[in-house]
Structure 1
Amino acid sequence: MKVPVRYYIGIVLFLLVLSSACHSPKSSNAINDERLQNQKYSDTVKMTSDNGEYQIIIIEPGFYGWLNSIARARGYYSQSFFETRNLMLVQEYNLRVQQPDRFDQNLYPFRIEYYPAINYGYELNYQLYNYFVYFQLHYNQRLTPIEPRI
């Protein structure tokens, strides 16, 4: 029996293709919407923590392929490395969520709940850290003075 998920860490970012939605004929829109839906589902990463209590869902076109082809392999960094970096990254990300007049709400739509006293396990910390690296590189953002490490 699965342990129920008590906490939900969610990073949900959707890329909207406005130009094709505004200027294409309806039949083309239906095809584009279907492709976008398929791409969204194929680029969804759902990870449960080692103990099954916490979950992270990342919906980001391109992230899954990047994670499997470019990101450092599991085991390269320690869990404590990820926890330290994730705490700094989450704090800055959440500050930007609270300042929609200064930062793009499309890039910073939701607050991330991440608590240093909770052991989320290696895999969840690995996924979160690598999402932040991807996010910073892909969207040309800098969340900390530390250069994103691949």
Structure 2
Amino acid sequence: MKKFLYLLFLGVMIYSCGTSRDRDFNKKEIAATANDTVRIANDSLEYEIIIIEPGFNLFINSIARPRGYYSQTYFENKNRFLVQDYNMRVRNPQQFNPNLYVQEINYEPDIDYGYEVNYLLYNYFVFFSREYNQRFSVPTRI
């Protein structure tokens, strides 16, 4: 009887290690990429922020600090320095990876972009620094 139980247990273990169905990871990957575009626009102020980055939606909805955790002034102060550092890296493709730093960010500190744009821009920098292991001159936390 013990041998039968051992054989039964071994059979169940071997059966559970096998795949139960075919999985198509490419479809899931395409769906995740399609949902990772964040766009905010305001025609009256003539600004637009578009973030196309796989995984950013997941980050903003699950890992990032919730809206209202920091003030708009906090985000504006951080973004001012982060954008300067980022743009400096865009202008130096010999020193920094031009595949990561593709296009400059047009951010003017004297314009009130509102809470949402500043929130998303700051969290993009947090996401970017985590995802690509980059360090900016102004520390990004979360």
Q: TM-score, normalised by structure 2?
A: 0.75
Structure 2: any 5+ residue segments left out of the alignment? 1-23
Structure 1: any 5+ residue segments left out of the alignment? 1-30
Matched letter for residue 141 of structure 2 = R
Matched letter for residue 124 of structure 2 = Y
Structure number with the higher helix fraction is 2
Q: Between the two proteins, what is the percent identity of the paired residues?
A: 53
Q: Which residue of 1 aligns with 2:13?
A: none
What is the alpha-carbon distance in structure 2 between the residues aligned to residue 81 and residue 51 of structure 1? 24
What is the alpha-carbon distance in structure 1 between the residues aligned to residue 27 and residue 132 of structure 2? 25
Matched letter for residue 148 of structure 1 = T
- Report which of the two structures shows the higher radius of gyration computed on alpha carbons: 2
- Give the number of the structure with larger relative contact order, counting CA–CA contacts within 8 Å between residues 6 or more apart: 1
> Structure 1 residue 149 and structure 2 residue 141: aligned?
yes
Are the structure 2 counterparts of residues 33 and 52 from structure 1 closer, same or farther at C-alpha, using a change threshold of 3 Å?
farther
Residue 55 of structure 1 and its aligned partner are, at CA, apart by 1.4
CA contact (8 A) 1:45 1:64 kept: yes
Deviation larger for 43-52 or 104-113:
43-52
Please list, as runs of the form range in 1=range in 2, the aligned pairs for 1:1-150 lying within 5 A after superposition: 37-48=30-41, 53-144=46-137, 146-150=138-142
Matched letter for residue 134 of structure 1 = F
Are the structure 2 counterparts of residues 136 and 120 from structure 1 closer, same or farther at C-alpha, using a change threshold of 3 Å?
same
Q: Deviations over 1:123-147 (max 9, x none)?
A: 0000000000000111110111x43
Residue 40 of structure 1 and its aligned partner are, at CA, apart by 2.6
What is the number of residues matched between the two proteins? 119
